[in-house]
Structure 1
Amino acid sequence: MSNFAKTFSSSLGKKLIMAATGLFLCTFLIVHLVGNLQLFKDDAGQAFNAYAYFMTHFTPIKVVSYLLYASIIIHAVYALVITMGNKKARPIGYAVQAGSQNSPWTSRNMGILGTVLLVFIVIHMSNFWWKYHNAELPYAKYEISLDDPSDITVSELPWDAKRLVHSDYVDTQAGKQVIVSKDLYKVVAHSFKTGWYVLLYVISMAALAFHLIHGFRSAFQTVGWDNRKYVPIIRFFGVWIFGVLIPVLFAAMPVYFYFFK
């Protein structure tokens, strides 16, 4: 076995892989949140559908998406390997010793939190990602006044295998910009009106919060960025940005649709 292979099969190597994939997934969360915040716009889903099209058709984003899928799988597999190893030896989860009863609850339950998130990701992707790529979704036709962009008329078009996924043109005679796109917004709105899914979403975001509060800090410790000068900054971002703000904003979306839309 090469030195490279030995390094990444060691306990330190496993922790480094967990840290690298975890930090990459944290970066994705920011991008995904910014896009999903378009759901709050009062435009019948036009901005969100445009975001969905961009994320699935812009080549660099598509390449990064494959890295994302690989990171999720690798992160989950190595988490399982580390958890199984913990039963045979002392706990090692990331760089933090997590076996003591005096350790934080989050560090002692990363496996449970991760399992909840993995189940959620599978359900979430089957509801949205798979349907966008494979289901016969209706199309939304947006007619936006050139004089007043807030004046939007939306109509539903039936699914048509021959229709382009997305089109955007200006109807000069009518004085309108016309956008036709797959209506993923309608799928999201319908899902967020389903009680059990909203509850699952909120619980999963709570699990994400606790997972990130411990995991974000631990990942930086693993890669050696635990200098006393940077610890307060890392702790702030880990707790208040990734542990509180991001999960709360994600959870606010289904709650908003369920109670107010």
Structure 2
Amino acid sequence: MGGIKTSIARKVAMALSGLFLVLFLAQHFTINFTSVVSPDTFNEISQFMGTNFLVQAVLQPILIFGVIFHFVMGFVLEIKNNSARSVSYAKYNGGANSPWVSRNMLLTGIVVLAFLGLHFYDFWVHEMQVKYIQGDMSGLNEAGEFRYYEETVAKFAGQPVRVAIYVFSFVLLMLHLLHGFASSFQTMGVNNKYSKGIKVFTKAFAIVIPMGFVFIAIFHYLNNL
């Protein structure tokens, strides 16, 4: 990251990494939503993703790097922006000129990052232990059935605090995306006849996908009371 010297280059790198993570978010939601409509499909997709060499050895490390890169660049941009402000700028009333979300992207990002830590602990760390420490690549439970659906449900069933954390985190992710997703296209210089449509799409995505994750968590909680 030391080679990203200019402000424009840093912003473009931030935008590209953000767009990459948005693609992952859409894919992750699509898979998780199948746990609501078809447990068998969810199990089959999870088994494929969990045992496919390309996913595990190539895409997964790229994803982890993308997450780290995006949030590190966020901190770098915030530090650079703060250091570039003049003394008179300290008197600037940001709230009167820009929405709360745009002025608190770092804050929402930090909370989302903390949530990702919990999410990785819940699922990714567990998978690594089962596959590479216990050496079980079968994806089966003691009854000889795929374990992914029941393990996912177990994270929410009878876990109101965990569900509340998920809801809170995805609401902040929604706020983060409402500003960040559209801004990524602006940073990339997209300013043409499709700009209005892109803006509508990014706003819809920023609301629908995070709220979809909220629905999944609440569904599994309520469905197992």
Normalising by the residue count of structure 2, what TM-score does the alignment of the two structures yield? 0.85
Show the counterpart of 1:244.
207
Show the counterpart of 1:20.
16
Show the counterpart of 1:49.
43
Residue 166 of structure 1 deviates from its aligned partner by 4.6
Q: Decide whether aligned partners of structure 1 residues 83 and 245 sit closer, same or farther in structure 2, where only a CA change above 3 A counts.
A: same
Show the counterpart of 1:234.
198
Runs of 4+ in 1 over 4 A off after TM superposition: 161-164, 179-182
Q: Who wins on radius of gyration, i.e. which is larger?
A: 1
**Structure 1: 5+ residue runs without aligned partners?**
92-98, 137-160, 168-178
Q: Which of 42, 46, 54 does residue 60 from structure 1 map onto?
A: 54
Describe the superposition over 1:26-60 as per-residue Cα deviations: whole angstroms up to 9, x where unpaired. 11111111110111135xx3322222221122233
Q: Decide whether aligned partners of structure 1 residues 123 and 103 sit closer, same or farther in structure 2, where only a CA change above 3 A counts.
A: same
Q: Hey, what's the Cα distance between the residues in 2 that align with 1:162 and 1:12?
A: 46
Structure of greater relative contact order (alpha carbons < 8 Å, 6+ residues apart): 2
Q: Secondary structure at the match of 1:128?
A: helix
Q: Hey, what's the Cα distance between the residues in 2 that align with 1:48 and 1:198?
A: 20
Give the number of the structure whose residues are more often helix, by fraction. 2
Q: Decide whether aligned partners of structure 1 residues 180 and 232 sit closer, same or farther in structure 2, where only a CA change above 3 A counts.
A: farther
Note if 1:118 corresponds to 2:113.
yes
Q: Hey, what's the Cα distance between the residues in 1 that align with 2:200 and 2:144?
A: 42
Note if 1:11 corresponds to 2:7.
yes
Residue type at the aligned position of 1:27: L
Q: Hey, what's the Cα distance between the residues in 1 that align with 2:26 and 2:63?
A: 13
Show the counterpart of 2:71.
76
Q: Hey, what's the Cα distance between the residues in 1 that align with 2:51 and 2:70?
A: 26
Percent identical across equivalent pairs?
Answer: 32
Q: Hey, what's the Cα distance between the residues in 1 that align with 2:115 and 2:194?
A: 33
Q: Hey, what's the Cα distance between the residues in 1 that align with 2:24 and 2:61?
A: 12
Q: Secondary structure at the match of 2:84?
A: coil
Residue type at the aligned position of 1:220: F
The number of equivalent residue pairs is 210
**Structure 2: 5+ residue runs without aligned partners?**
87-92
Give the number of the structure whose residues are more often strand, by fraction. 1
Q: Hey, what's the Cα distance between the residues in 2 that align with 1:13 and 1:187?
A: 42
